[in-house]
Amino acid sequence: MNLRRDVFQAIADPTRRTILLLVAAQGMTAGAIAANFDTARPTVSKHLQILTECELLKQEQQGREVYYHINAKNMKQVADFIEPFRQMWEDRFNKLENIMKTYNQNNDGTKNKS
Amino acid sequence: MEQKTKVNAEDGKQDLLITREFDLPVELLFKAYTEADIVEQWMGTKVIKLEGKTHGSYRFETSDANGNIVFSANGVIHEFTPNTRIKRTFEMENAPFGVQLEVCEFEKLTEGTSKITIHTIYESAAQRNGVLKLPFAMGINMAHSRLQDVMNKLNKQL
């Protein structure tokens, strides 16, 4: 029987979520990733294999080392990938605008420029 | 709702551009960047220090409900020109993203509207992409927490 390999399976495990967080910051070798865990190296390798099969990670050969990266291609386009970052700033700036509109009303009498 | 904030990050480059127009006079937009208690509200972090002056410095810190520090960052201000420009560095503490240079331009559009343009330069393209992907990675974590909640409820019902 074939094991289902999908995104939900990939993120169902806390170790795999941590691996995604680590690799999201920068490409890493299997050894560097394994150094973050107490678990045995083959266990980490198994997690990397599952994440790669789910196409959340991709491997890249750099000289003699293989680096794991977040697979941006699986996100259809880069714009999807940076959307949460854009949304974070959208939320912050919306808040800023609302706060300052209130601030302006409260200070209208004292520093109204005509 | 209309998306007012634009993020431009070209592939393979080590910088990015954030732009946003506000229904605020430029003076108020600038004030939102310089008054500690206002910064705290919209950035969602505690402001430990914020010196609004050329060669000043700043530091932010965010704690969770248990008092553990989950985010801290600091930087120095290279230029502070009211209602015009803030040039500063920004560095997350205990994070692999290096130091970034931020040039924030404040622009008056009309009496009641203004625009901010933030040009951020990272040490490398990889570090820039790391910062860009961080909210995405956090999203995976949060999506999973929600999934976990749903599954837990289902399990209890069975």
The reply to whether residue B7 touches residue A82, judged by beta carbons under 8 angstroms, is yes
In total, the C-beta contacts within 8 angstroms joining chain A to chain B are 106
When CB atoms are compared, the residue of A85, A90, A104 closest to B132 is A85
| A42 and A65 assigned to the same domain | yes
Which value does ipTM take for this structure? 0.85
Q: Is the dihedral of CA B145, B3, B127, B91 positive or negative?
A: negative
Using the Cβ of B37 and the Cβ atoms of chain A, whether some distance falls under 8 Å is answered with no
Least confident residue range of A3-7, A10-14, B24-28 = A3-7
Instruction: Indicate the residue type of A78.
Output: V
Task: Determine the pLDDT at residue B19.
Answer: 96
Least confident residue range of A59-68, B2-11, B69-78, B132-141 = B132-141
Give me the mean pLDDT over the A93-100 stretch.
96
Q: Is the pLDDT of residue B132 over 90?
A: no
Going by C-beta distance under 8 Å and a sequence separation of 6 or more, which residues neighbour residue B13? Answer: B125, B128
| A32 and A16 assigned to the same domain | yes
pLDDT tens digits, residue range A29-85? 999 999 988 888 899 999 999 888 878 888 999 999 999 988 766 544 345 668 788
| A64 and A32 assigned to the same domain | yes
pLDDT bin (cut points 50, 70, 90) of residue A113 is very low
Instruction: Indicate the residue type of A91.
Output: D
Give me the mean pLDDT over the B132-146 stretch.
68
The CATH number linked to A59 is 1.10.10.10
| A11 and A35 assigned to the same domain | yes
Residues of chain A contacting residue B128, judged by C-beta atoms under 8 Å apart:
none
What is the 8-class DSSP label of residue A4? P
- What are the φ/ψ torsions at residue A74 (nearest 5 degrees)? -70, -15
Residue A86 lies in a domain: yes
Residue A21 lies in a domain: yes
Give me the mean pLDDT over the B97-119 stretch.
96
For residue B57, the Cα-to-chain-centroid distance in whole angstroms is 16
The parent domain of residue A27 ranges over: 7-70
Distance separating alpha carbons of residues A100 and A98, to the nearest angstrom? 6
pLDDT bin (cut points 50, 70, 90) of residue B67 is confident
Residue A2 lies in a domain: no
| A82 and A63 assigned to the same domain | no
Task: Determine the pLDDT at residue A75.
Answer: 41
Continuous H helices in A4-113: 7-11, 14-25, 30-34, 41-53, 78-106
Q: Is the pLDDT of residue B120 over 80?
A: yes
When CB atoms are compared, the residue of B4, B38, B133 closest to A81 is B133
| A86 and A113 assigned to the same domain | yes
Q: Which residue has the higher pLDDT, B92 or B154?
A: B92
Q: Is the pLDDT of residue B64 over 90?
A: no
What is the 8-class DSSP label of residue A72? G
| A28 and A60 assigned to the same domain | yes
pLDDT tens digits, residue range B68-88? 888 899 999 999 999 999 999
Give me the mean pLDDT over the B43-70 stretch.
93
Q: Is the dihedral of CA A7, B64, B17, B57 positive or negative?
A: negative
Task: Determine the pLDDT at residue B155.
Answer: 61
The reply to whether residue B136 touches residue A82, judged by beta carbons under 8 angstroms, is yes
Residue A1 lies in a domain: no
| A108 and A89 assigned to the same domain | yes
For a pLDDT cut of 90, what percent of chain B falls above it?
Answer: 64
Task: Determine the pLDDT at residue B11.
Answer: 78
Task: Determine the pLDDT at residue A78.
Answer: 41
Total domains present in chain A: 2
Residue A45 lies in a domain: yes
| A20 and A48 assigned to the same domain | yes
| A61 and A106 assigned to the same domain | no
| A28 and A58 assigned to the same domain | yes
Residue A60 lies in a domain: yes
pLDDT bin (cut points 50, 70, 90) of residue B100 is very high
Going by C-beta distance under 8 Å and a sequence separation of 6 or more, which residues neighbour residue B91? Answer: B73, B74, B75, B97, B98, B99, B100
| A83 and A109 assigned to the same domain | yes
For a pLDDT cut of 70, what percent of chain A falls above it?
Answer: 75
In terms of CA atoms, which chain A residue is nearest residue B39? A96
Q: Which of B5, B62, B119, B134 to mutate to test the interface with A (most CBs of A within 10 A)?
A: B5
First to last CA, chain B: 40
Residue A56 lies in a domain: yes
Residue A82 lies in a domain: yes
